[in-house]
Amino acid sequence: MAASIVLAGGSGFLGQALGTYLCELGYKCCILTRGEAGTRDGIRYVKWDGRTQSGWERELEGAHGVVNFTGKSVNCLYTKANRAEIIRSRLDAVRVIDEAVRGLKVKPKVIVQAGSLAIFGNTERECDEDAAHGNGFSVEVCQQWEKAFFQQDIPGVRKVMLRIGFALGPDGGALEPLMQLARFGLGGTIGSGRQYISWLHLHDLNAMFRYALEEEQAEGIYNATGVQPISNREFMKTLREVMGKGWQPPAPTPFVRLGAYLIMQADPELALSGRNCVPKRLLREGFSFQYTKLDEALRQITAQ
C-alpha cells in the first residue's frame, strides 16, 4: 500500500505543486482545505477549518507525514484585522495539528512546517540558519510561528521547519506578477534595486520537502532557498533578458508605495524589502540542487 502524505492548507500554488510531485513519486496525497471536498487529479480534498478537529484528523492516522502550508496570505494591507488573522491562522493550525497527532494511535513519522525567510527582516547581510533575526511585524509573526511549532515534542515524530524563499515556478506563484510587469514594459528595477531575492526553483523546493519527509536525520530548521541570492536589479534584468525584453523604466520607491496601497492592496515592503539567505544546513547535509543559476531556472519555467 502506498504511503500517504497529508497537506494541510495545501490548495495554493506551493501545495498543489507538491501534491502533484508526491503523487508522481507514488505517494497518496490528501489536501485539507476550506474549499470543496472531492478528488481531483488523483488528490483527495477533505474539508477543515484550520482550528478545530471535525473528522479530518482521521486522515492523519497512519500517514507517513504531514506538511502544513496553512496561513492567511501576507500579500495584503497590514491592517489591524489582517495582522491579527495572519498570526491567528498560523498559530491555530500548528496547535490543532499537534493536538490531532498526539491523539493518534499510529502517528505520522514527521510534521513539516512551511515557514518563511522573513524572520531575518530586511537585510543585505548573508543569513544562514543561525543568523540574527530582524525587526518588524513579519519577523514577529515568524518568531511566534516557529516557537509554537517547536514548543511541544511529540515522541516518535520528527519536526522540520522549512523557511521558504522566493519560489519560482510556472502558472502562478510569486514570479507571475513580475512576468506580467515585464510583458507590459514595466519590468524595471523595483525601488532601490539593492534588496536581495533569495530565490529557488519549484523543483528544488519540492525536492526539499521530499528530503524533509524521507530523511530520518532531517530535523529542526532549514533555510529552503537556492545557493545564489541576487539583487532585485539583477533579477529583473535577467528576467527581461530571458523574456526577450530590452531596458524598461525603473519603479522608484514612492511609486511602488503608492501602487502597492492603491492598486495591489498590499504592504509595499513586500516588494521593497529583501534578504540574502543561504541554505547552509541543506548543503552541509549533501542536498543536491538542480537549478543554481537564475537564467537557467527562468528559461526552464518560461519555456513551459
Answer yes or no: is pLDDT of 81 > 70.
yes
Q: Over 70: is that where the pLDDT of 1 sits?
A: no
Give the β-pairing of 38-40 and 43-47.
Answer: antiparallel
- The pLDDT of residue 144: 98
In-domain check, residue 12: yes
30, part of any domain: yes
Instruction: Say how many C-beta atoms besides its own lie within 10 A of residue 11's C-beta.
Output: 17
CA dist., res. 21 & res. 271, Å (int): 29
Taking 90 as the threshold, does the pLDDT of residue 98 lie above it? yes
Is residue 253, in this structure, part of any structural domain at all?
no
**Domain encompassing residue 73:** 4-167+199-225
Q: Strand ranges (DSSP E) for the chain? A: 4-8, 28-33, 38-40, 43-47, 65-68, 110-116, 123-127, 158-164, 166-168, 196-197, 199-201, 220-224, 230-231, 275-277
149 part of a folded domain? yes
Beta-bridge mates of residue 190: 251
Whether the pLDDT of residue 2 is over 90: the answer is no
For the domain that residue 154 is a member of, what is the CATH number? 3.40.50.720
The C-alpha cell of 144 is what? 511566534
In degrees, rounded to 5, the angle at the alpha carbon of residue 14 between the alpha carbons of residues 84 and 289 is 125
Name the maximum alpha-carbon separation found in the chain. 60
DSSP helix, strand, coil percent of the chain (3-state; round to 5): 40, 20, 40
Asked whether residue 123 is domain-assigned, the answer is: yes
Indicate the pLDDT class of residue 262, thresholds 50, 70 and 90.
confident
Question: By CB neighbour count within 10 A (0-12 exposed, 13-18 middle, 19+ buried), where does 108 fall?
Answer: buried
Q: How confident is the model at residue 263 (pLDDT cuts 50, 70, 90)?
A: confident
Q: Residue 263 CB: number of other CB atoms within 10 A?
A: 8
- Note the pLDDT tens digit of each residue in 164-215: 999 999 989 999 999 999 999 999 999 999 999 999 999 999 999 999 999 9
The pLDDT of 150-170, averaged and rounded, is 97
Least reliable range by pLDDT among 71-75, 92-96, 257-261: 257-261
Q: Is residue 155 part of a domain?
A: yes
Indicate the residue type of 114.
Answer: A
With 0-12 / 13-18 / 19 or more C-beta atoms within 10 angstroms meaning exposed / middle / buried, residue 160 is buried
pTM (2 d.p.): 0.97
In tens, the pLDDT along 226-253 reads 999 999 999 999 999 999 999 999 999 9
Q: Is residue 30 very low, low, confident or very high in pLDDT (cuts 50, 70, 90)?
A: very high
Answer yes or no: is 280 within a domain: no
Q: Does residue 188 lie within any of the structural domains?
A: no
221 within 8 A of 163, measured Cβ to Cβ: yes
Q: What is the pLDDT of residues 32-66, one digit of tens each?
A: 999 999 999 999 999 999 999 999 999 999 999 99
Instruction: Give the number of domains in the chain.
Output: 1
Percentage of residues in the chain with pLDDT exceeding 70?
Answer: 100
Neighbours of 303 (CB within 10 A): 8
